[in-house]
Amino acid sequence: MNASPSVGSEFSKGLAGVVAGRTAICSLEGDLRYRGYAIEPLARAGDFEEVAFLLLRGELPSPAEHAAFSARVAAAARGLDPVVIDALKTLAAACPTASPMDALRTGVSMLGQIEDDRAPGTPEAVLAQAERLLGQVPALLAAWVDLAAGRTPAAWPEGSIARALLERLTGRIPSAAHVAAFGTTLVLYAEHEFNASTFTARTIVSTGSDMHSGICGAIGALKGPLHGGANEQVLDTLSAIGSVDRADGWVHEQLAAKRVVMGFGHRVYKDGDVRAKLLGGICREMTRGTESQPLEDLADRVERIMLERKGLKPNLDWPAARIYHALGLPISVFTPIFVVSRVSGWTAHIIEQIGDNRLIRPLSLYTGQPPREYLPLGERQT
């Protein structure tokens, strides 16, 4: 029989404010820290491989460890199983407009089948799985973009994940400045404590399930517009407004209709998202004097209005969407890029959950009918 909450048990809708576990990976107390390191220097360095190593192993890598780790991740990207590519090719031919998020979820599921991943292995084995996924997921995304466009997937380029993925998604050799900005977004999206997708992954593996199942569930959670999908809607919002002179009227209309303006407010940060502050400055520097300047002027106006009227500050999705637009990336890959980055945090949490596991099983507060008697079918009135 399922347990019921005891008298006096507190109910918190959406588990808001509820401490659901312990973690040594990320802290949001005071400021955002990965394994004890403040986010600002990590973000400004923009080295996604460095941060992924830190999240998975608990310490920053030495130069030799960084080089070896990066090489393993790149090898996984280049060695994507052709069986998966062939299956995605069939899916792309059948439905080229399918969501890249669905393609990533399907691709990760197939990778799990190929590896015969049924349950967590040794600590060394799950760590190796995590490293492979760090390379495989961006390669899956790039392959799907090519296949959906009717192209044969190109070879995985040399260089960091940020550089190689940006080249694959844009078809151009990126500048050092663009790689740095893109790398910073990957660092900032890498990890964020017990968010919906991370908690989903931990819940799945708490049952004794495998890492690939945990990642598939996390991708499904991130797909939602109230979580990862918000970054795609930011650009839709700016496009809908169109120009600075229309900003006041548009925001007033949304607020009067009690509609959510995507890119503002955060469940945890009440005084503004530190990640948005960091990336917002980089975004303004990168776009100053470019064709993206009008969009930045519009974004700045919307920020001012939202602060004045609602006291809300931007979250990470607000500047990230504008940077991705300035980099020439299509909206359809904004949330999948979030997946590429957050795989580092998800796998770190999966490893942590496996290492000190207890089945995650909360209680619910019943609000249905009071106890009543069952009548056989023939005795019920018509």
- Residues with catalytic annotation? 227, 266, 317
Q: Measured between alpha carbons, how far is 246 from 234 in angstroms, rounded to an integer?
A: 16
Three-state SS at 268: coil
Our CA dihedral for 241, 244, 246, 250, rounded to 10 degrees, sits at: 50
CA–CA separation, 54 and 34 (whole Å): 8
Question: Nearest CA to 34 among 17, 12, 58, 14?
Answer: 58
Q: In angstroms, how far is the first alpha carbon of the chain from the final one?
A: 33
Judge whether 120 and 352 are in contact, CB under 8 Å.
no
Q: CA-to-CA distance for 164 and 136, rounded, in angstroms?
A: 13
As a whole number of angstroms, the distance between CA 179 and CA 188 comes to 14
Among residues 38, 14, 34, the alpha carbon closest in space to that of 26 is found at 34
The DSSP secondary-structure symbol of 264 reads: B
Retrieve residue 75's tokens: 């090898």
**CA 17, 351, 161: angle at the middle one, nearest 5?**
100
How many C-beta neighbours within 10 Å does residue 159 have?
A: 16
Rg (CA), the chain: 22
From the centroid of its chain, how far is CA 76? 20
